[in-house]
Amino acid sequence: MRALITGINGQDGSYLAEYLLSQSYEVHGTIRASSLQNDRKLVNIKSIFEKIKIHQCSLEDYLSVYKLISEVKPDECYHLAASSFVNYTFCDETSVILTNFNSTCYLLSSIKELMPRCKFYFAGSSEMFGNADKSPQDEETKFNPRSIYGITKTSSFYVVKNYRECQNIYACTGIAYNHESPRRDFSFVTRKISQSVAKIYLGITSYIELGNIEAKRDWGYAPEYIVAMHNMLNNPRGPTDYIISTGLVYSVRYFLDLAFSVVNLRYEKYLKINSLFFRSLEKNDLIGNSIKIKNDLNWESKKKLEEVIEEMVLNDITLLKDGR
Ligand code: G4F
C-alpha cells in the first residue's frame, strides 16, 4: 500500500508516517519548499527521513498537486496540511483560504482524474462548530464556524462530502478536536506551557504570559488520533465522517496547574496575563461526542490528559538540556 500525507513534517503527519511505516506502507509526504531549507521544520521526521519519500509541493497550485498525484499514485491520501492557527480577526484570510480550501479541491480533483480508487482523508476540526448551538457536538450538529480557519474547514468538508456522494470517491472527514503531544507546534497553548515550564524549571526564564486561562478545550493525544484517521480509510462500512475527541473538557488553568506540578512548582508565582493573547469572539464550549467512531471502528481516546502533560513537560526539559 502506498500512502501520501500532506504536511508530513507536522505533529500528526509525522506520527501517521511512523504508524503507516509500521504497517508496511510505502510512505510519501509533501513539504513546503521553505520548510526543506529549515532543519527545525524537519525535526519531527528526522528519524524516518531515509524511509519516506519527500515531495516538495505547493498545495496552492493545481499543476503542482496534479503532478504530485500522477507521480505518487497513492492508494490512500491523508490531507493534513493546513494553515492551522485559529484567529477570529480575519487577518490574512485570503492566504488561509488558498491554502486550506483550494488544496482540498485540487487534491480531490486530481484524485478523481488520475486515481479514482485512492481513499481520501480530510482533517476537519472542532472549529467547524464554532459558536455551536449544542454541546457536546456530534456528527449531526450544525456547523457555525466563527474563524476563517473554521470556515475553510467547513467548506472543504462539503467538497469532500460531494466527492463521496456524487463522484463515488472514498472520501471522508475526521472532525478532530484539539490533540497534543511533544511534537505540538510552539504556537499552541499546550506546547507554549510545557516549554515555558521547562524553561522556568531550568532557570532560563522567570515567567509565562498567557491569554484567557479560563478557556476550555477537549484535549486528546495526537498519536491516538492518527490511528483513527487510518481506521477511517479502512472502514468496513465504507466512507463516512466521524468526530474524533475525548468527550472531556479542561481549562487552560487546569493544564497550567498540572504542567507546573510536574516540576513541583506553583503556576501562580510565574503567570502574567497578557491581553494580546485573548481572542475576543471565542466560545468555550467545544466538546466532542465520539460515540459513533467507538461503535463503528472501536476507536476511543485512552491516554489521560495528566499523562500527556507530563510527557510534554519532561520532553521539553530534555530538549532544552540537550541544547535543542
Ligand atoms: O492551543 P490553541 O491555540 O488551540 P486552538 O485555537 O483550540 O486550535 C487548535 O485546535 C483546533 C481544534 O482541533 C484546531 F482546529 C486548530 O488547528 C488547532 O490545532 O488555543 C487553545 C486555547 C484557546 O482557547 C486560547 O484562547 O488556549 C487559549 N489560550 C490562552 N492563552 C491561548 C493562550 N492560546 C494560545 N495559542 N496562546 C496563549 O497564550
Q: What are phi and psi of 2, to 5 degrees?
A: -120, 125
Does residue 308 line the site of ligand 1, with CB under 6 A? no
Low-confidence ranges of the chain (pLDDT < 50): none
Does residue 177 line the site of ligand 1, with CB under 6 A? yes
23 vs 21: CA distance, rounded Å: 5
Does residue 84 line the site of ligand 1, with CB under 6 A? yes
Q: What are phi and psi of 55, to 5 degrees?
A: -120, 125
Q: What is the pLDDT of residues 119-149, one digit of tens each?
A: 999 999 999 999 999 999 999 999 999 889 9
240 vs 139: CA distance, rounded Å: 10
Confidence at residue 86, expressed as pLDDT on a 0 to 100 scale: 73
Query: Which one of 84, 86, 129 would you pick to mutate in the ligand 1 pocket, going by the greatest count of ligand atoms within 8 A of its CB?
Result: 86
Cα 188 to ligand 1 centroid, rounded to whole Å: 5
**Which set of grid coordinates corresponds to residue 207?**
515567567
Domains, the chain, ordered by start:
2-179+220-244 (3.40.50.720), 185-218+249-284+303-321 (3.90.25.10)
Cα 215 to ligand 1 centroid, rounded to whole Å: 9
Confidence at residue 202, expressed as pLDDT on a 0 to 100 scale: 98
Whole-model pTM: value is 0.97
Confidence at residue 284, expressed as pLDDT on a 0 to 100 scale: 65
- Alpha carbon distances (Å) from 292 to 91, 132, 137, 160, 241: 35, 19, 12, 19, 9
Q: Which residue has the cell 464550549?
A: 285
Confidence at residue 93, expressed as pLDDT on a 0 to 100 scale: 84
Q: What is the pLDDT of residues 169-223, one digit of tens each?
A: 999 999 999 999 999 999 999 999 999 999 999 999 999 999 999 999 999 999 9
